Amino acid sequence: MGTPKAALEWHGSTLLRRAVGLVARAVDGPLVVVRAAGQDLPPLPAAVEVVEDARADRGPLQGIAAGLARIGERASVVYVSGVDAPLLHPAFVRCVIGSLGEDDEIALPHVHGFAQPLAAAYRTSVARRLDELIAQDRLATRALPAISRVRDLQPEALLADPALATLDPRLDSLLNLNAPRDYDAARALPAPAITVHLAGEIRARAANAATLAAAATAAGLTLGPHLLCTLDGHGTIDDPQEPLACGDAVTFRVLA
């Protein structure tokens, strides 16, 4: 890309802040960001944990291993995402995690002709085997699935999930940005189609917004302590950079 992807601007936020926020909506355990040693990161929510790769330039498996080590026994299943997936939808994350069967160690989407190990669910029990691969310098992303019990998720299996079929029918969640032209093309797309609702009004308004701040602007409002914001009818949000996804509904209530 020529510059760190994490800090690339995305409709008023950054790729990293967006990835963290979207994954957070689909999981109930710790969120861990793995960075290169000393790498500067854009601002993140206080609850996000940051860990560094043990060794530089060792590829995705090294990063996954670092994240699993930090999580330890606090979770039995993790979802792994690359930072460069701005069209990721929480429904996709939930679908992949939910596809992991009792005897499966990895739920691995296989879309657009490629396996997608950076958009997959892993049992944390693979950590020891992963460490052994890294010690042997077997760093190809296919190395771990090759010695694991894998649930192969073809497009038809993913789109059998009604929520995902409605909210991400083209599986744009798997779009990643590998070159400046990819970023420019994706950045030129409209922000997610959402609805905004002002408490007391009968009808919601259609809008395009990638963040809470943009949704407030679309509603003619300014964020602040006077404004209560809820996402999809449950849970309050107040971070201006809170990411939104296609189909989201944001409700604003002006406090007296």
Q: What is the pTM of this model?
A: 0.95
Which of the four CATH numbers 1.25.40.10, 3.40.50.970, 2.40.50.140, 3.90.550.10 does domain 5-184 have?
3.90.550.10
pLDDT at residue 1 above 80? no
Model confidence at 152, pLDDT cuts 50, 70, 90, reads very high
Superfamily of 190-254 according to CATH: Beta-grasp domain (3.10.20.30)
pLDDT at residue 74 above 90? yes
11 phi/psi in degrees, rounded to 5: 50, 50
Residues 6+ apart with CB under 8 A from 74: 29, 30
Model confidence at 62, pLDDT cuts 50, 70, 90, reads very high
Model confidence at 55, pLDDT cuts 50, 70, 90, reads confident
- Residue 137 three-state SS: coil
Domain boundaries, the chain: 5-184, 190-254
pLDDT digits (tens, 9 = 90+) for 116-139: 999 999 999 999 999 999 999 999
